[in-house]
Amino acid sequence: MSLIILQQTLTMLLLMGTGVVLTRIGILDDAVSSALGKLLVSCIIPCVTLNSFMVPMKEGGLGLLGQSAILGMASLAIAMAVSYIIFSRREPEQDFGAAFSNAGFVGIPLVSATFGKEAVFYIAPMISFLNILQWTYGEWLLTGDSRKVQLKSVLLNPVLIATVMGILLYATQLPVPGIVSRSVEMLADTNTPIAMLVLGSYLAKTQPKSLVADVRVWAGSIVRLFVVPLATALLIRLSGMGNSEMVQALFIASAAPVGANVAIFAQQCGADYRLSVRLVCLSTLLSVMSVPIVFQLFSCLV
């Protein structure tokens, strides 16, 4: 299993390198990168989420879904608590980055490659909670102003809407026309390459020296890639909930690097955008080594 994860992370690194090249030669410019990022958040990741629910109901399916939602929320709570204890609001970009993994851009491709597309079902509730918390708790971290949190933005979040629709489809087992399901699946299949190209565009705009010379970037990356996943592993071990595939899928999502949204939110909130981009880039590069390592440690625990 660890070998599959290593192969997938290396594939994603190659795709990210392609994004770097395309950016350097002027094809993937700021406008294109921004448009692709919006496309991922507003359309492609919701399609990935919806597609994961358009499957025949498993034995005990709703119970498993409930368990994955509880474990997913608990994992996020652990991540936020660990990050806040270490960084607090004195270092909001690191706190935000360490608390929220790139479960959509990186976690979904890893889970899909390791367990199959159906396994995204287990991490869909976690990703929905993650998006809600980024738009609320995350924005408060970066601004210190709870008045900026907009309930409308949370309720209209495309991933949340797709999750609610998916749960309804899964619970009722309503038949979906083949042309619709195929269209959703085709859009979902574009998630990995487009997400990696966007991350590559971020990396291309970052000076290599700034990645390795800033202690803050290393601190945020280490907490996100090692401290938070190991705390999550302990939580999963003590909970005793979920089947093997569920807990492994949730762990992989929790071990993903810093979410790309930290850079987007930091820019919108007037926080340190450049630090946020460096956090995303360094943690993504280090995740090629860290995810297989922590997954192996997790396998020993469970």
DSSP 67-91: HHHHHHHHHHHHHHHHHHHHTGGGS
Measured CA to CA in angstroms, residue 54 lies from 132, 167, 244, 260 at distances of 23, 9, 21, 27
Q: Which helix (H) or strand (E) holds 269?
A: helix 261-269
Tell which wins on pLDDT, 1 or 58: 58
Buried b (16+ CB within 10 A) or exposed e, 206-219: beeeebeebebbbb
Count Cβ atoms within 10 A of the Cβ of residue 283 and give its class: 0-12 exposed, 13-18 middle, 19 or more buried: buried
Q: What are phi and psi of 205, to 5 degrees?
A: -95, 5
Residue 171 pLDDT > 80, yes or no?
Answer: yes
Q: Which helix (H) or strand (E) holds 201?
A: helix 191-204
HSE toward the beta carbon, residue 141, CA cutoff 13 A: 28
pLDDT digits (tens, 9 = 90+) for 52-81: 788 787 777 788 888 999 999 999 999 999
Handedness of CA 203, 84, 148, 144 (dihedral sign): negative
Q: Which one, of 36, 42, 20, lies nearest residue 202 by Cα?
A: 20
pLDDT digits (tens, 9 = 90+) for 259-292: 877 877 776 677 777 788 889 888 988 988 899 8
Is residue 91 within 8 A of residue 272, CB to CB? The reply is no
Q: What are phi and psi of 101, to 5 degrees?
A: -80, 170
Count Cβ atoms within 10 A of the Cβ of residue 244 and give its class: 0-12 exposed, 13-18 middle, 19 or more buried: exposed
The confidence score (pLDDT) of residue 180 equals: 93
Count Cβ atoms within 10 A of the Cβ of residue 61 and give its class: 0-12 exposed, 13-18 middle, 19 or more buried: middle
Residue 200 pLDDT > 60, yes or no?
Answer: yes
Residue 169 pLDDT > 80, yes or no?
Answer: yes
CA distance 172 to 50: 14
Is residue 113 within 8 A of residue 4, CB to CB? The reply is yes
Handedness of CA 34, 35, 36, 42 (dihedral sign): positive
The confidence score (pLDDT) of residue 80 equals: 95
CB count within 10 Å of CB 161 equals 15
Q: Which one, of 171, 166, 88, lies nearest residue 120 by Cα?
A: 166
Average pLDDT over residues 3-30: 85
- Quick check: pTM over 0.75? yes
CA distance 113 to 246: 14
Residue 144 pLDDT > 80, yes or no?
Answer: no
